[in-house]
Amino acid sequence: MRENRVPRCPGAGGRTKLSSVARLTIVDGSGYIFRAYFALKQARSGGRSIDLSTAAGMPTGALHVFSTMLMRLHLDEKPELATVVFDAAGKTFRDGLYPAYKATRRELPPDLAPQLPFFEPIARAFNMPVLRIPDVEADDVIAALVKTAHAAGHEVVIYGADKDLMQLVGPGVTMIDTMRDVVYDAARVKEKFGVPPAQVRDWLALRGDSTDNIPGVAGIGEVTATKLLAEFGTIEGIVANVDRLRGKLADKFRDPDQLAQLELSRRLVSLRDDVEVPELASFARKEWDLEKLTEIFSKLEFSAILSRLAATFTPEPERYTTVLDEATLGGYLAGAEELALAPLMAGGHLVGVALAVPGAPPTRWPPACPSRGRSSTRCWPPTSSTRARPRTAWPRSASATSTTRPCRSRSSSARRASRRPSPRPRSAAPPAGPASRSTWRRPWASCSSGASRRPAWARS
């Protein structure tokens, strides 16, 4: 059972206590870079203008997606152990096995090339250990980490979507595709491929992979590969029962050239889990290097992420300024093009909202507090037995932010009704009589600033 603890935000000081069953989080850095880049390209072709670049014209889209993912990973998941794995420069053992390996890959996009030098420094500024091991790919390093963590009794979560990695999914090992918000366990892998994770390697070898230029068996696609493995279990089982196959399909598994190509394909898709990796203790969660992150994000002109950094801290009361009226709040937000928000929680209840805008110190806006009576409308500070902590929040433009505090006591239908033009004459009064008194509602009545929110006909 995972040990309960009060999460501490990066940069807040102190050490994070590991739970009794630690979880190793592995980010497939190389895979994520290209998926982030091409996801933006596909969205761009759909008509959404999401090109990101600095004022000098340097493209930064993939870097922004990567940085946001790491920030969400730290704030949402709070991994006990974490690392980012990148491909090392140069050739690997697979190139020795098959010189045409990955020969069909497209050249590096020109607007991705200038972003590459920033990915590793960003990961290191988040204080996530980075692994690059020569002669093998990131997938092999991840396989070795999974084997090591599994032997130590740790759970493993892989952030990536490479189909080769799905052969690692199993008890205690899950995979998260953050682009599509999909979590792959054994059942989800079988739903995707038609075979369980233990058969993914043979499935990939049978059908081949045009992306990595893995040949496979000529003429065998996903459907046939799935049927063969469902019936015979493994490649060895298919070859041993070739007499049960018919026609051209049987000929393929009798052809020595096709069998040699199949064996080569299986060696190419097999992951090496014998790679030497650092001890798991070296991946323990550490505080962010906020100074370095600020330096990098300022250079990349990520003002929204910088605002999130400003709002990510342990919210001790002395660290905030407090806004208690709407006029002060309006002045704080005046001229701000971006705004970062984070709810402040105590004892499972909302006790305030942390706000940060570029170039200004963070502040808090306490909400109404019905539990303390109508004479006291502020919930700050929280009780001494609890302490507020921020949750993840995403920035939105200040122009879309209302400086008027909403009345939380009204239902959404009542708010819509109060905004809807009323057919009632301006001078009309509410219905009278005992029968109508039980059905008549003043949706603004429980709001502390309700006078200014009444419909026009009710203010006469």
| Nearest residue to 260 via CA among 215, 229, 227, 204 | 215
Checking if the pLDDT of 337 tops 70, the result is yes
Task: Note the pTM of the prediction, 2 decimals.
Answer: 0.66
Supply the pLDDT for residue 397.
39
pLDDT band at 112 (very low <50, low <70, confident <90, very high): very high
Give the pLDDT band (50/70/90) at residue 131.
Answer: very high
CATH for 23-269?
3.40.50.1010
pLDDT digits over 274-302, tens only? 999 999 999 998 888 989 999 999 999 99
Residue 28 DSSP SS3: strand
Looking at 9-23, 156-170, 358-372, which range is the least confident one?
9-23
At residue 130, the 3 state secondary structure works out as: strand
Which are the contacts of 434, defined by CB distance < 8 A and separation ≥ 6? none
Nearest to 342 by CA among 357, 327, 331: 357
CA angle 393, 398, 402 (to 5 degrees): 95
Q: What is the pLDDT of residue 428?
A: 46
Amino acid identity for residue 168 in this structure:
L
Q: What is the pLDDT of residue 60?
A: 94
Two tokens, residue 138: 């990131």
Examine the pLDDT at 19 and tell me if it is beyond 60.
no
Report d(CA 312, CA 308) in Å as an integer: 6
pLDDT for residue 159 is more than 90: yes
Residue 185's pLDDT is 95
Helical segments of 312-348, H only: 326-333
Write the pLDDT tens digit of every residue in 230-274: 999 999 999 999 999 999 999 999 999 999 999 999 999 999 999
What is the pLDDT at residue 381? 44
120 phi, psi to nearest 5 deg = -65, -45
For the four alpha carbons of 448, 453, 458 and 460, in that order, the dihedral sign comes to: positive
pLDDT of 416 reads: 54
Name the band, by pLDDT with cuts 50, 70 and 90, for residue 417.
low
Residue 299 confidence (pLDDT): 94
Domain ranges of the chain: 23-269, 313-400, 423-458
- Cβ atoms of 147 and 129 closer than 8 Å: no
* 219 neighbors 248 (Cβ within 8 angstroms): yes
Of the CA atoms within 13 Å of residue 414, those in its CB half-sphere come to 17
For β-strands 340-346 and 349-356, DSSP reports them as antiparallel
Number of residues that make up the chain: 460
Least confident among 3-12, 259-268, 441-450: 3-12
Residue with more model confidence, 79 or 418: 79
Residue 354: its pLDDT value, please? Answer: 81
State yes or no: pLDDT of 204 exceeds 80. yes
Q: What angle separates helix 290-300 from helix 303-311, to the nearest 10 degrees?
A: 160
- Write out pLDDT tens, residues 308-336: 887 775 444 455 677 777 788 888 888 77
Please, what's the largest Cα pairwise distance for the chain? 95
The encoded tokens of residue 189 equal 């892998």
CA–CA distance, 347 with 343 (Å, rounded to integer):
13
Average pLDDT over residues 89-105: 93
pLDDT of residue 266: 97
Higher-confidence residue of 388 and 118: namely 118
Exposure of 194 by Cβ count < 10 A (0-12 exposed, 13-18 middle, 19+ buried)? middle
Q: CA 112 to CA 135: how far, in whole Å?
A: 24
In the prediction, which pLDDT does 374 show? Answer: 40
Q: Which amino acid is at 251?
A: D
Q: Please tell me the distance from the alpha carbon of residue 338 to that of residue 347, in angstroms, as a whole number.
A: 30
User: What residue has token string 């799905």?
Assistant: 166
Rounded average pLDDT over 114-141: 95
State the Cα–Cα distance between residues 148 and 274, nearest whole angstrom: 10
Q: By the 8 A CB rule, do 31 and 138 touch?
A: yes
C-alpha span between 28 and 370 (Å, rounded): 47
* Strand partners for 184: 175
Tell me, what amino acid is at 208?
G
C-alpha distance from residue 89 to each of 29, 116, 134, 136, 315 (Å) = 14, 12, 7, 10, 43
pLDDT in tens, 26-38: 999 999 998 888 8
With 80 as the cut, is the pLDDT of residue 457 above it?
Answer: no
Looking at per-residue confidence, does 389 or 119 come out higher? 119
- If we measure between CA atoms, which residue out of 128, 214, 143 comes closest to residue 173? 143
- Which one has a higher pLDDT value, 269 or 43? 269
